[in-house]
Amino acid sequence: MKGISMSDEEYAKLLDRAFSKAHSTASESSDFVIPKVDAFVQGSKTQIRNIAAIADKARRDSKDIARYISKELGVPVNAEESRLVISGKFSNDDLDKRIKRYFETYVICKECHKPDTRLESASRGMFYLVCEACGSRYGVKNY
């Protein structure tokens, strides 16, 4: 039986054609978007109006997010109804950066980059971030 012979140019054309028709997993996009903070300054305090929506998107308790923000900013916070009151004046950009960092550290899986995770208690001062999508599990520091 004879082998099929083709030039490098013909092979490259066939390869390009195959790649153009193949499903690309690298370009898969997620519809998950980290929510922007809706905050305003009132006197010497900053209020986040949509902390409940942020907590729902993260699938975490708003009190946990409040504790993280308090530690990050070094100021006391108070959870009232569906908003978070922070002692001090902070811009939306600064708060967005903190929320983004929270999501990157405590919500989004580092392996598959999906937000389908949960936190489990580990030893003192640590949590396990367990991904329900890919099954990975790794330690993260307590906030």
Q: Does a structural domain hold residue 91?
A: yes
The whole model's pTM is what? 0.76
Query: Do 46 and 67 sit in the same domain of this protein?
Result: yes
* Domain, as residue range, for 138: 112-143
- The per-residue pLDDT for 125 is 79
pLDDT in the model for residue 95 = 96
* 40 Cβ contact partners less than 8 Å away, ≥ 6 residues apart: 46, 47, 49
What pLDDT score does 23 carry? 57
> What pLDDT shows up at residue 41?
95
Total domains present in the chain: 2
What averages of pLDDT result for each successive group of 10 residues across the chain (143 residues)?
Answer: 73 83 56 91 95 94 93 93 92 95 94 92 86 92 83
In a domain? residue 128: yes
Q: Give the domain CATH number at 52.
A: 3.30.70.3150
Instruction: Write out the H or E segment, with its range, that includes residue 118.
Output: strand 117-121
Task: Decide if 4 is inside a domain.
Answer: no
Identify the pLDDT of residue 117: 94
> Within a domain: residue 46?
yes
